[in-house]
Chains A and B, each alone.
Chain A
Amino acid sequence: QKEVEQNSGPLSVPEGAIASLNCTYSDRGSQSFFWYRQYSGKSPELIMFIYSNGDKEDGRFTAQLNKASQYVSLLIRDSQPSDSATYLCAVNLGKLIFGTGTRLQVFP
């Protein structure tokens, strides 16, 4: 079992819809969780992090963490074509362990 798992996608959503990206992890000792966005041909950039169970909102982005079920998700409200990218989930176990990413496509 991979330490961090994501569906590779692509996840296609229409402009204005909510995009929901999911990630599961295997190590129950994980304490902090991160979402990175990577545009094609570019480097990853941090967009959200979450440490506690529940929701954390930042603009159009909401990170959700459920430690009991070992999943973390990212919701993007009012999706825009500029949100089209690969979203990498990462778990901090003293070092970051990355998932393989989910490709999101937002179509007009």
Chain B
Amino acid sequence: EAQVTQNPRYLITVTGKKLTVTCSQNMNHEYMSWYRQDPGLGLRQIYYSMNVEVTDKGDVPEGYKVSRKEKRNFPLILESPSPNQTSLYFCASSPTLAGGLNTGELFFGEGSRLTVL
């Protein structure tokens, strides 16, 4: 089954304790992205990756890191979480057109709800 898998689905942590949210896709998509979703603010892009070893900042990258060492995996790292990073996080992947632009057809993981105390 084609899917994007995120873990953990739910996490409560404390300020400053490093955490990683994993994301894996089995569709051989080149494009992967992380979003956070907050009430009234909608989906905002954190980081994205056009291919292995190619990552770039989205609209709200502060406080986050990513890596793309393999095509299928795109972990999101919070080195020192703070309460304002409490949010619902989605990983997504997409096939790309020639030239690297993603098609806009995103396949989302089930989401990871993070609470930072």
Contacts and interface: CB of A to CB of B under 8 A. Distances in A.
Contacts of B101: 92, 94
Contacts of B58: 95
A32 interface: yes
A73 B111 CA distance: 27
Contacts of A32: 104
Interface string B89-113: 0100000000001111110111100
B104 A92 contact: yes
Interface residues on A, range: 20 to 34
A25 interface: no
A46 B4 CA distance: 14
Query: Which residue, of A49, A96, A99, has the highest number of chain B Cβ atoms within 10 A?
Result: A96
Contacts, number: 47
Contacts of A49: 104-105
Given A42-B110, A43-B90, A43-B111, A95 B102 contact: yes
A98 B40 CA distance: 12
Interface string A27-53: 000001010100000111110010000
A62 interface: no
Q: Which 8 A-B pairs have the closest CB atoms?
A: A100-B42, A43-B108, A92-B104, A98-B43, A98-B42, A34-B104, A32-B104, A43-B111
18 contacts: A8-B40, A32-B104, A36-B106, A43-B108, A43-B111, A44-B43, A44-B108, A46-B106, A49-B105, A88-B42, A88-B43, A90-B104, A92-B102, A92-B104, A95-B33, A98-B42, A98-B43, A101-B42
